[in-house]
Structure 1
């Protein structure tokens, strides 16, 4: 229980029981920010597929999508799902494909190519 008392100068003083209240917060901070051990280098990483549904263009679309093009994971493919062939997001994806030609596995789904 939190103990609050007034000092001689009129200020409120929190008792020692306050630290018991904050202990779970310190524990959760430690647990949430615990470092993950990397996989041993002799085991190959599995390939992954990243599915990104897109619709329209927002102000940060280029920088958001660029993070997927610059990942350091060894083997992955990007699958962009776009419903309308006139969607401006297609131009953004194509521009990023030209900017990062090393990434070979890029597909645009839902639009005839």
Structure 2
């Protein structure tokens, strides 16, 4: 057991999460950028709130023009998210997960 004391916070919106073997209290942020890496939008959610529940919201807030390829990490790889991009007339650039027990195919 970790003997470090847990500090109290009056912040009513922050939450606990467990990641990489550690408990963390606070928030997580999602940052959207343009092709040059300039920040378009930053959103903050409680630490225990998955960014995948906010995928469509994050994409809409980025203000992408039709036909733009949206790049996202493989945690967002799902049929629903691919269809959400298609509905907004955006190109799917979500990284794909490697199938278990198989080599990664070439795109």
Which TM-score applies when normalising by structure 1? Answer: 0.30
Structure showing greater radius of gyration is 1
The answer to which structure, 1 or 2, has the higher relative contact order (CA under 8 A, 6+ apart) is 1
Flag the structure with higher strand content.
2
TM-score normalized by structure 2?
A: 0.31
